[in-house]
Amino acid sequence: MSYEQYLAGDPLIITAALTGGVHGKETSQNLPETPEEIGEAAAAVEEAGAAVVHIHARRPNGERSFSTERFQTIDDEIRARTDNIIIQHSTGGTGAPDELRHQPLRTDPPPEMASLDMGPLNRYDHLTSENTRGLVDSLHEEMVERGVKPEMELFNDGHLNELYGLLERREMGDPVYATLIFGGGTLTRPRPRNLLNAVDNLPDGALFNTLGFGRHQLPLTTMGLLLGGHVRVGREDNVYYRDGELATNEQLVARTARIAEELGRPVATPAEARAVLTL
């Protein structure tokens, strides 16, 4: 993907990351945690322009869940409240045993997409989410078996190497869809030239999705859409609409849709997104 895709006015796929697996309602009460809240949020972001919802599951008290049953309940709520949105499950899970990381792939039907974390990243001061190559391969194997499109999450430039390695090890359906992630800690340092560099180093033919944490969400996703890529926004990655003002998921999606339209990128419907991603 490149600036040529921007000039051509290729449709922009907006993914809304509604909940996440790190913070919860202790951050703000309007973070969707229950299946009903996530279903309502999915309907709101679909109305605002999102084609994809990225889903994490929570227990009734807001703590993390990896169970197939909990994802199933959430999916049922989403499908009951939305028209056609694409459901993308997270397979992330710092500290969770590998077997639990497979559970989100086993709903009926399976999610159309699922995340695939491409390598290690640090959490807090004494914890690392390992995401070994063995786990990446086994998750990818099950995604292939179940017809799930992987969304490769590249948390830093080293994970670009991991993506090339995965492409050498395994057969990958076209197009490869890679999310470039920018933020603190182990992530790629959130600076514009680093986004340019990451895009330049993607495999030929790969589509990319830009994800910036916190205050970097707005500038880097805007830059990403100008470079012909797609974008992810939402409360998982960014709590604020602007300095000191808490956001809702639909506000973040609506702002992105408005900017895209102003800049000449029409916002993709879920059906258009399915065509782009060959779902």
Partner 1 sequence: MACPHLSYRSSANDTEFDHERAYCAVAQQFVQPMRADICNDRYNLAHDEHCELYRES
Task: Tell me how far, at minimum, the Cβ of 28 lies from partner 1, in Å.
Answer: 10
267 - beta bridge partners? 12
Please give the structure tokens belonging to residue 93. 């899970």
Distance of CA 191 to the CA centre of its chain: 20
Q: Which is nearer to partner 1, 35 or 93 (CB)?
A: 93
Cβ neighbours, 10 Å, residue 258: 13
Please name which of 250, 120, 258 lies closest in space to residue 233, comparing C-alpha atoms. Answer: 250
Task: Tell me how far, at minimum, the Cβ of 184 lies from partner 1, in Å.
Answer: 15
In order of 53, 65, 216, 238, 273, the CA distances from 234 in angstroms are 9, 20, 12, 6, 18
Q: Which is nearer to partner 1, 64 or 159 (CB)?
A: 64
In order of 44, 52, 63, 160, 241, the CA distances from 84 in angstroms are 13, 9, 28, 32, 26
Residue numbers at the binding site for partner 1 (CB under 8 A): 21-27, 29, 58, 60-64, 93-97, 100, 123-127
Task: Tell me how far, at minimum, the Cβ of 96 lies from partner 1, in Å.
Answer: 5
Q: Which is nearer to partner 1, 127 or 275 (CB)?
A: 127
Task: Tell me how far, at minimum, the Cβ of 143 lies from partner 1, in Å.
Answer: 22
Q: Which is nearer to partner 1, 56 or 255 (CB)?
A: 56
In order of 51, 125, 254, 268, the CA distances from 48 in angstroms are 9, 37, 5, 11
Task: Tell me how far, at minimum, the Cβ of 58 lies from partner 1, in Å.
Answer: 7
